[in-house]
């Protein structure tokens, strides 16, 4: 398990590039399925999955409440769409659907592949739009999975392996889309980014996604886009 967790996402992609980034969240999910290999590793717990089905035994995950949702992969926004939308006027005019239809900045942020990871469905639902924080470890909440969700406090704590990447994703989303971070959030993510520096799997993920988006996450590192494979046409995304 430790070695597999260390290689999280390093071998989780098939090598594709696209002519331009996805335009909507629906399109981003289709591209993400092509980017991530069909036999891959889930983000929060390190479970193996194939297609949309999760092998819960591979990481010792025990469903908290929803076995059916726990058995499937969903695409999780590390920076929740709710958080992005609540900083924009469009949300007050009609919520997420209105923002997706009428706010170009929100639509691009919602479809940004750097902010998407494959998650156990139950964890995607449990975390929802809760902010990340330091929390006491609760190993029995999801079996052997070290993810913690404190519903009473309204906070969540991911496993140590992915904390640095989460921090650098928040910095990226803040810089690219004007997302405001509180002083408390910035202090937390600065600590996580410092204590959990970029590892090879994160650099590899950054390079693969950069080949689709056309730019890298600068908080992870630069990418030479000239080394990307020849782009596929937009029509090939649904193949």
Domains of the chain by residue range = 38-196
Residues near 186 by beta carbon (within 8 Å), at least 6 away in sequence: none
How confident is the prediction for the chain on average, in pLDDT?
Answer: 88
Q: For residue 117, what are the β-bridge partners?
A: 76
Q: What pTM was estimated for this model as a whole?
A: 0.88
The C-alpha R_g of the chain, in whole angstroms, comes to 17
* pLDDT over 90 at 113, yes or no: yes
Distance CA(210)–CA(204), nearest Å, equals: 10
Closest CA to 208 of 8, 11, 6, 15: 15
More confident residue, 197 or 37: 197
More confident residue, 239 or 169: 169
């Amino acid at each position: 398990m430790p070695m597999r967790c260390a290689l999280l996402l390093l071998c989780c992609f098939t090598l594709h590039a696209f002519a331009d980034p996805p335009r909507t969240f629906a399109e981003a999910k289709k591209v993400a399925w092509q980017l991530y290999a069909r036999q891959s590793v889930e983000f929060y717990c390190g479970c193996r999955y194939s297609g949309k089905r999760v092998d819960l035994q591979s990481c010792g995950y025990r469903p908290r409440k929803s076995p059916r949702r726990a058995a499937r992969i969903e695409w999780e926004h590390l920076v929740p769409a709710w958080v992005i939308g609540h900083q924009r006027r469009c949300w007050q005019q009609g919520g997420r659907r209105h923002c997706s239809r009428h706010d170009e900045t929100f639509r691009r942020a919602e479809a940004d592949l750097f902010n998407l990871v494959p998650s156990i469905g139950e964890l995607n639902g449990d975390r929802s739009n809760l902010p990340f924080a330091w929390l006491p470890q609760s190993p029995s909440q999801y079996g052997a999975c070290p993810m913690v969700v404190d519903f009473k406090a309204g906070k969540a704590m991911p496993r140590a392996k992915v904390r640095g990447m989460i921090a650098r994703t928040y910095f990226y989303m803040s810089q690219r889309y004007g997302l405001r971070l509180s002083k408390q959030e910035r202090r937390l993510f600065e600590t996580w980014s410092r204590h959990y520096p970029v590892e090879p799997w994160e650099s590899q993920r950054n390079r693969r996604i950069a080949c689709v988006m056309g730019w890298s996450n600068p908080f992870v590192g630069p990418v030479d886009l000239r080394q990307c494979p020849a782009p596929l046409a937009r029509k090939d995304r649904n193949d």
